[in-house]
């Protein structure tokens, strides 16, 4: 009897050990498990409405910026298209100028031969006249078409207004070439518009050397030279006299234009008289010549007023400043 009770007691103790170990294992598992995961679940359960609104706001901002960028892109594309058209137009103009330049070079080569022959004949004629007439000296002042050409320095003041540029530009260029031919060689040359702006800014306030190459460059540049003009030669004349007058230089100004939009002819004449010094004989040191282009005279009489005033102004200025005014009968 005693032995049986011992076996039952051993069995009871073993069963309790197993149960106890099982509960202990469960408790250990609960202790090992991360209790911090629960707040994460709580955070994930928070409403996402605020996040969605923020993302929607960013999306609207991005869409607005995209529309702005698209408008700017379209504007840039339109500007690029305009520039491309302008470049194409300039390329065509350049091609035309190059064709004209090539033609001019061919004509120049022929004209140089003819010019050389004429100069030789002229020299021979002059020598023969001197021998027959017994001339001991040449007359220093010569006249061609009534215009004295004794100057060593010349300034061209060109009206670059719309009326001149659109209707009389080719005629003006031909007139300038004719004038330059009268002066085979001068010590200095300058080109300004009626506002006093220089054709070549690097020669601002100083004389350009007169060479055949420089004359070609002037003519090529002149074909597309169109700075702003107020249709009045006064600013250019005054600036030319103030800048280029020198007591030891013979200077002539040639004004090419078609109208005078200024206020008073009398005031201009008096202003030029004050700034143009006189020599010992009382003659103005700077000659002023002018060529009038009758562009406005193609209009009805009531629209010819500024053209008539230009002719009156330049005739008086030329008369008082030792020059000549020539009025053309056609601007084509």
Neighbours of 98 (CB within 10 A): 11
Name the maximum alpha-carbon separation found in the chain. 185
Dist. CA 297–CA 293, nearest whole Å? 9
Same domain, 76 and 201: no
Same domain, 109 and 155: no
Same domain, 215 and 268: yes
Exposure string over 126-137, b if 16+ CB within 10 A, otherwise e: eeeeeeeeeeee
Q: What are the tokens at 214?
A: 């420089």
Do residues 331 and 293 lie in contact, with contact meaning Cβ atoms separated by under 8 Å?
yes
Same domain, 127 and 160: no
Q: Which of 252, 260, 255, 79 is nearest to 163 (CA)?
A: 260
Identify the domain boundary among 114, 134, 154.
Answer: 134
Is residue 310 in a domain? yes
Same domain, 161 and 90: no
Is residue 219 in a domain? yes
Same domain, 164 and 285: yes
Is residue 110 in a domain? yes
Is residue 72 in a domain? yes
Global pTM reads 0.58
Read off the DSSP letter of residue 108.
H
Dist. CA 142–CA 50, nearest whole Å? 97
Domain count across the chain: 2
Identify the domain boundary among 86, 103, 134.
Answer: 134
Same domain, 125 and 175: no
Do the bridges between strand 147-148 and strand 188-193 make them parallel or antiparallel, or are there none, so unpaired? unpaired
Is residue 40 in a domain? no
Same domain, 154 and 99: no
Same domain, 80 and 217: no
Identify the domain boundary among 134, 156, 180.
Answer: 134
Non-local (6+) Cβ contacts of 271 within 8 A are 234, 238
Same domain, 314 and 166: yes
DSSP codes joined into one string, 290-318: EEE--SGGGS-GGG-HHHHHHHHHHHHHH
Same domain, 192 and 62: no
Domain of residue 299 covers 146-327
Lookup result for tokens 């102004």: 313
Is residue 157 in a domain? yes
pLDDT digit of tens for each residue in the chain (332 aa)?
455 555 555 556 666 676 777 777 777 777 776 555 555 544 544 566 777 778 777 887 888 888 888 888 888 888 888 888 888 878 877 777 777 776 666 666 656 666 666 666 556 555 555 555 554 444 444 544 456 677 899 999 999 999 999 999 999 999 999 989 888 889 999 999 999 999 999 999 999 999 999 999 999 999 999 999 999 999 999 999 999 999 999 999 999 999 999 989 999 999 999 999 999 889 999 999 999 999 998 888 888 899 999 999 999 999 999 999 999 988 77
Same domain, 113 and 243: no
Is residue 128 in a domain? yes
Dist. CA 139–CA 185, nearest whole Å? 18
Is residue 250 in a domain? yes
Q: 189: domain CATH number? A: 3.40.50.410
Dist. CA 288–CA 155, nearest whole Å? 10
Do the bridges between strand 153-158 and strand 251-257 make them parallel or antiparallel, or are there none, so unpaired? parallel
Neighbours of 118 (CB within 10 A): 11
């Amino acid at each position: 009897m005693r032995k049986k009770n011992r076996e039952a007691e051993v069995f009871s103790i073993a069963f309790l050990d197993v149960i106890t170990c099982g509960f202990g294992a469960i408790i250990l598992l609960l202790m090992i498990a991360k209790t911090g995961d629960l707040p994460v679940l709580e955070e994930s359960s928070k409403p996402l409405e605020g996040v969605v609104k923020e993302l929607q706001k960013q999306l609207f901002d991005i869409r607005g910026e995209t529309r702005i960028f698209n408008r700017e892109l379209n504007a840039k594309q339109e500007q690029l298209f305009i520039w491309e058209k302008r470049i194409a137009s300039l390329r065509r103009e350049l091609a035309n100028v190059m064709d004209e330049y090539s033609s001019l070079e061919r004509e120049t080569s022929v004209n140089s031969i003819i010019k050389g022959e004429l100069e030789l004949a002229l020299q021979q004629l002059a020598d023969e006249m001197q021998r027959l007439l017994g001339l001991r000296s040449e007359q220093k002042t010569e006249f061609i078409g009534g215009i004295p050409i004794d100057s060593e320095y010349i300034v061209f003041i060109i009206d670059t207004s719309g009326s001149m540029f659109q209707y009389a530009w080719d005629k003006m260029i031909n007139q300038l070439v004719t004038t330059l031919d009268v002066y085979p060689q001068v010590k200095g040359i300058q080109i300004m518009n009626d506002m006093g702006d220089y054709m070549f800014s690097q020669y601002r306030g100083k004389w350009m050397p007169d060479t055949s190459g420089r004359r070609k460059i002037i003519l090529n540049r002149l074909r597309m030279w169109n700075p702003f003009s107020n249709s009045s030669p006064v600013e250019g004349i005054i600036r030319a006299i103030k800048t280029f007058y020198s007591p030891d230089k013979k200077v002539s100004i040639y004004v090419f234009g078609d109208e005078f939009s200024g206020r008073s002819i009398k005031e201009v004449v008096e202003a030029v008289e004050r700034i143009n010094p006189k020599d010992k004989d009382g003659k103005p040191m700077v000659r002023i010549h002018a060529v009038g282009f009758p562009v406005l005279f193609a209009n009805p009489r009531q629209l010819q007023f500024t053209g008539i005033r230009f002719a009156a102004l330049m005739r008086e200025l030329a008369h008082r400043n030792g020059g000549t005014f020539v009025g053309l009968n056609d601007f084509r």
